[in-house]
């Protein structure tokens, strides 16, 4: 949703830094965007709907485990995959990824940071 809330050239930056790159979105994230897009909160529902459009045009949806929290599912998917970088702005998820020696991409001052 951040891609819609704060437009920038993040996708282009990812391709520039991590080329070649395939942008993937876990199915549980899509489910959450669909839920938010049908909520009564007008602003958030519009942002979620636009986010779904970005996913459809730039990203591949991947199936993930049905067990655990969204963060658990993302971490489980990334384990053992050297070429996977998890993109997140979530501080707690970043800490968990680093504890498990998993790669992540985040933003700091509108700059792409590998962690």
Contact 87, 14 (CB under 8 A): yes
Residues near 89 by beta carbon (within 8 Å), at least 6 away in sequence: 2, 106, 107
Q: Where are the domains of the chain?
A: 2-82
What sign has the CA pseudo-torsion 5, 26, 99, 115?
negative
| CA atoms of 105 and 23, how far apart (whole Å) | 12
pLDDT at 69 over 70: yes
pLDDT at 89 over 90: no
For 29-63, write each residue's pLDDT tens digit.
899 899 999 988 899 999 999 999 988 888 899 98
| CA atoms of 93 and 98, how far apart (whole Å) | 9
The correct CATH number of 2-82 out of 3.30.1330.50, 3.40.50.2300, 3.30.420.40, 3.40.50.1010 is: 3.40.50.1010
pLDDT value of residue 3? 67
pTM of model > 0.85:
no
| CA atoms of 32 and 38, how far apart (whole Å) | 10
């Amino acid at each position: 949703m951040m891609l819609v809330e704060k437009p920038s050239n993040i996708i282009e930056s990812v391709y520039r830094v991590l080329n070649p790159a395939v942008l993937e979105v876990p199915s549980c994230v899509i489910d959450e965007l669909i839920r938010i897009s049908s909520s009564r909160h007008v602003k958030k529902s519009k942002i979620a709907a636009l986010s779904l459009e970005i996913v459809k045009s730039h990203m591949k949806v991947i199936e993930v485990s049905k067990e655990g929290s969204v963060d658990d599912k993302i971490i489980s998917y990334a384990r053992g995959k050297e070429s996977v970088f998890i993109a997140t702005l979530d501080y707690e998820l970043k800490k968990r990824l680093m504890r498990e020696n998993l790669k992540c991409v985040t933003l700091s001052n509108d700059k792409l940071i590998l962690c």
